[in-house]
Amino acid sequence: MNNLPKVFNDFNEARRNSFIKVKEYKDAGEHIVGIFCTFTPIEVIYAAGAYPISLCGMSDETIPDAERDLPKNLCPLIKSSYGFALTEKCPFTYFSDIIVGETTCDGKKKMYEYLNQIKPMHVMQLPQVTDRRHALLVWKNEIIILKERLEKQFNTKITDDDLKKAIKKCNEERRALKELYSLGKICPPPITGMELHTVLHGASFTFDKDEQNKKIMDMVKELKEEHTNGIRKVKEDAPRILITGCPIGGVADKIIPIIESNGAVVVCYENCSGIKEKSRLVDEIKEPIEALAEKYLNVGCSVMAPNDNRIELISELIDEYKVDGVIDIILQACHTYNVETRRIKEFITGEKDIPYMSIETDYSQADEGQLKTRIAAFIEML
Ligand code: BJ8
């Protein structure tokens, strides 16, 4: 990991630095909007002159506190997020002026009722139906309602021009991140999966997106040059893994090192925090609310039924990243991703004809030994 350019360490530090930054921003009178999900149209938040910041809980530290209000057999991401708000241990939640959530899975939307007693919340009603015409109408309206709520909250007026500028800004970030992901297409990749995860993780806590984009582009250039000059940190024949499933912020440190210490390399993350949302840009020509509604409805999350967009993206990624095997990570009690494993497995082992394994896990270390054995056996057969 230390072989990476200095800029990599900057991303490693980004989350810690962002704790200080968020306080500085608040002291300077800036507005912070906490978000939980990839469906949140962050462009509307930027257009309101505020900063969106991800609040997904990624550690088991606050789960015992959360379990005083929430059932034990609930997804760790939901319990952790709620626990951080309850205990005021997360500065992002603490400094958020308002939190935006969506009615994605049942656990999340019911947790929001309690979270609303701690912080002001705005919940967007996400359509989960397959009728695109109906879903688009609903989602467009929800984006308009969010816009009005933020206008009221921050005493401002959001114009079409503000939205278009925000769309451009967010597309620039998507383009830079797509460049970063594209390193995984190189054989062997000039970046390990753990390094890639650290950069992506750091990027989600960076406020200055122009500076972040520049750092990413510099890093990509440097790593490509190193590769051209023959520097290799991954073996030529390392099995190439695609990770899909639930967000992995709370389990990445447990699972990715096991994969990579067994000689494989993670070349692509399909899940949220990975390429899922970044793969498609927002149309910059269309009427902005319409363009945002179209873009975000296409997120291939398992709460959608049926969820063909996930299959389509996985199919493209397997081909583009020359994937040898797929690991589907399911957080315990995540029913939608868990139910979807059958369809994903059938598609990957059938149509794509490559090995697949699913892992059900939580934020504890209790299953580490068992995961080591199962993942080693999976990589062995690739
Ligand atoms: S767009 S993946 S961030 S909902 S909280 S569904 S793990 S039981 S996080 Fe998600 Fe948005 Fe979809 Fe992405 Fe399952 Fe847990 Fe629910 Fe979860």
Is any ligand 1 atom within 6 A of the Cβ of residue 334?
Answer: yes
227 and 154 inside one domain: no
pLDDT of residue 132: 84
57 and 167 inside one domain: no
Tell me how far the alpha carbon of residue 105 lies from the centroid of ligand 1, in angstroms.
7
The predicted-structure confidence for 166-176, as pLDDT tens digits, reads as follows 999 999 999 99
104 and 191 inside one domain: no
- Tell me what the mean pLDDT of segment 27-43 comes to: 96
155 and 168 inside one domain: no
Residue 74 CA, chain-centre distance (Å), reads 20
Least confident of 7-21, 40-54, 102-116, 148-162: 7-21
131: nearest Cα among 19, 263, 297, 330:
297
Tell me how far the alpha carbon of residue 75 lies from the centroid of ligand 1, in angstroms.
9
Tell me how far the alpha carbon of residue 272 lies from the centroid of ligand 1, in angstroms.
8
pLDDT of residue 2: 45
- Which of these three, 159, 188, 211, is where a domain ends? 159
232 and 133 inside one domain: no
How many structural domains compose the chain? Answer: 2
218 and 143 inside one domain: no
Is any ligand 1 atom within 6 A of the Cβ of residue 74?
Answer: no
- Which of these three, 103, 132, 159, is where a domain ends? 159
pLDDT of residue 82: 97
CA distances from 35 to 150, 209, 351 (A): 13, 17, 36
Is any ligand 1 atom within 6 A of the Cβ of residue 295?
Answer: no
**Has residue 314 got a pLDDT over 70?**
yes
State ipTM: 0.95
pLDDT of residue 204: 76
Ligand 1: which residue has its CA nearest to atom 4? 104
What is the share, in percent, of the chain residues with pLDDT greater than 90? 85
Query: Could you tell me if residue 113 is inside a domain?
Result: yes
- Tell me what the mean pLDDT of segment 314-325 comes to: 98
Give the CATH number, domain containing residue 237: 3.40.50.11900
- Which of these three, 116, 136, 159, is where a domain ends? 159
**Has residue 157 got a pLDDT over 80?**
yes
Query: Could you tell me if residue 244 is inside a domain?
Result: yes
User: Which of 115, 246, 296, 299 is the pocket-test mutation for ligand 1 (most atoms within 8 Å of CB)?
Assistant: 246
Q: Which residues constitute the domain of residue 271? A: 162-380
Half-sphere exposure of 295 toward its Cβ, with a 13 Å CA cutoff? 26
The predicted-structure confidence for 276-305, as pLDDT tens digits, reads as follows 988 899 999 999 999 999 999 999 999 999
Query: Could you tell me if residue 319 is inside a domain?
Result: yes
192 and 58 inside one domain: no
Is any ligand 1 atom within 6 A of the Cβ of residue 331?
Answer: yes
100 and 189 inside one domain: no
Query: Could you tell me if residue 1 is inside a domain?
Result: no
